[in-house]
Homo-oligomer: A and B are copies of this chain.
């Protein structure tokens, strides 16, 4: 063993003990006759002291050569510090060094190993092993491990069994793009990496496992948006003999358990909101309800005058910005520019200042009188001193735009407090979603989701109106989990595939095994999957997932540290019976 204690362990009670420590040189201060060196490991920092009066000369000489990040081992005596450091747990003591051994030297790191580093994203990723030495990254990874532990503790207490499902499965063209793996032993054939263990967990329910979970890697070959990873981790769960209510209760319990264990944060029953209500009130199916700024639909009070922009719009809708009436003209112009950015896409924005004296000043005073504007204020819940921002256009688009504006303003106003947690169930999702480009419907959740009882018939007449037994768990404006009650009989599943555009042959080829299984005694079942990366980030008070992943990939799907992916040699390709086909 290279140490008797770690660098976070020693306290005043250890004074006079002889100890051995190992770790990294954080920094040294050489005062000539005394050298202080901060020694760091995962557990903390301990101050070492080399003193010309009390330490051998050759040890002092060696200590003078220590650079940042050298790996050393020291033996010495724990003594009381003259000037105590109350900021760190070891701040009452220091170690007077008797023996020093350099276990490994270190080149100067390409960025500083400090909480606030001077290294940019790219260089930090290339030297991720150095980045992980920094407290914020190290603590994020430790936090992730704690979250996973608590998830397992809770689910094991609830009699869930963790079952590993296979990674080498079959590609299904439906849905997102699969990563595939050529099979050497089955020439010309490919495995696919799972986008989720969906069909396997359903088969485990058919197999009577009753309550299944797994913390499992999933894979999706999508063009990467910011903060998406080609491989990601799911907490995947499934239960048999349950209804939606049972699942919501269990996973509400899990989320409460995590908030309690990790933040000592207690919360009453989670609110529930229908998908339709969420879209109407927040323009979004994952609303952040830590703050208000709810949508006020203004069609009835804004389409009666000669303002053509509104009159021709499908939806006129506004939000009240707290204390926004004090914004200058310049600030408001900037806000208008912001909503006109291509990422948001509004054509313009109407605003109303709600003055402290109860009067209104708007950008459309030409068309609307004080009485009109008072109604807008009432509908949007605006108070004196607020600013009403109004957008108009096709319903879906304008809702998305106003939702983006709402989130942006909340961010600027400091309303998205990272240490406040506002979970929310969004329920009654539509079963199908219209792809506006192709005009086809596809499954909003996935093709195994069951429609609400009695709504199968609607599939033929009004597919968009069919609601599903599907639900999302939203936390602070992020979807952290989603699931559904599944179809568990062959006929319904076949009907669903038909409505999704599968021929019977395609359905059989891709999911025949599942429909077969449904004929041998499938219980009613349903489940839910959490995105662990995002759950951990939000519980950790952050919005980006990258620092909660030990070795993330960049936006081109590359691991810049190991330089993957990479070319293969022809022998390897030949064994797999494939060759490159680069246009």
If A556-B186, A566-B171 touch, whether A561 touches B104 (CB-CB below 8 Å) is no
Residues of B within 8 A of A207 (CB): 128-133, 138
If A187-B582, A488-B104 touch, whether A169 touches B562 (CB-CB below 8 Å) is yes
Residues of B within 8 A of A578 (CB): 578-581
- Nearest chain B residue, comparing its CB with the CB of A580: B188
Contact partner of A559 (CB less than 8 A), chosen from B2, B69, B166, is: B166
Q: How many copies does the complex hold?
A: 2
If A71-B523, A242-B2, A565-B190 touch, whether A581 touches B573 (CB-CB below 8 Å) is yes
Least distance between A259 CB and chain B CB atoms (Å):
20
**Judging by beta carbons under 8 Å apart, are B24 and A521 in contact?**
yes
Residues of B within 8 A of A6 (CB): 210
A231 within 8 A of B: yes
- Nearest chain B residue, comparing its CB with the CB of A67: B521
Within residues 154 to 188 of chain A, which ones have a CB less than 8 A from any CB in chain B? Answer: 156, 161-171, 173, 177-188
A563 within 8 A of B: yes
Least distance between A124 CB and chain B CB atoms (Å):
12
- Nearest chain B residue, comparing its CB with the CB of A25: B521
**Judging by beta carbons under 8 Å apart, are B161 and A551 in contact?**
no
- Nearest chain B residue, comparing its CB with the CB of A20: B241
Residues of B within 8 A of A243 (CB): 1-2
Residues of B within 8 A of A582 (CB): 187-188, 577
A253 within 8 A of B: no
Residues of B within 8 A of A173 (CB): 569, 572
- Nearest chain B residue, comparing its CB with the CB of A488: B104
- Nearest chain B residue, comparing its CB with the CB of A132: B207
Q: Give the interface segment out of A337-345, A441-449, A512-520.
A: A512-520
Main secondary structure of the interface of A (DSSP, over half): loop
Residues of B within 8 A of A128 (CB): 203, 207
If A149-B156, A191-B564, A199-B562 touch, whether A185 touches B129 (CB-CB below 8 Å) is no
Contact partner of A161 (CB less than 8 A), chosen from B141, B200, B203, B209, is: B141
**Judging by beta carbons under 8 Å apart, are B520 and A208 in contact?**
no
Least distance between A533 CB and chain B CB atoms (Å):
9
**Judging by beta carbons under 8 Å apart, are A168 and B520 in contact?**
no
Within residues 217 to 233 of chain A, which ones have a CB less than 8 A from any CB in chain B? Answer: 217, 219, 221, 223-224, 230-231, 233
Contact partner of A241 (CB less than 8 A), chosen from B1, B148, B521, is: B1
If A180-B181, A521-B71, A524-B103 touch, whether A162 touches B145 (CB-CB below 8 Å) is yes
**Judging by beta carbons under 8 Å apart, are B581 and A577 in contact?**
yes
- Nearest chain B residue, comparing its CB with the CB of A569: B173
A335 within 8 A of B: no
Residues of B within 8 A of A372 (CB): none
A418 within 8 A of B: no
Least distance between A176 CB and chain B CB atoms (Å):
12
Contact partner of A164 (CB less than 8 A), chosen from B246, B513, B550, is: B550
Contact partner of A572 (CB less than 8 A), chosen from B180, B524, B579, B580, is: B180
* Docked pose: A221 CA to B106 CA in angstroms: 38
12 A-B pairs within 8 Å (CB atoms) are namely: A42-B211, A106-B519, A130-B206, A148-B162, A152-B152, A164-B233, A168-B557, A168-B564, A179-B181, A189-B566, A191-B565, A579-B579
* Nearest 5 A/B pairs, CB to CB: A132-B207, A106-B521, A170-B564, A189-B565, A2-B241
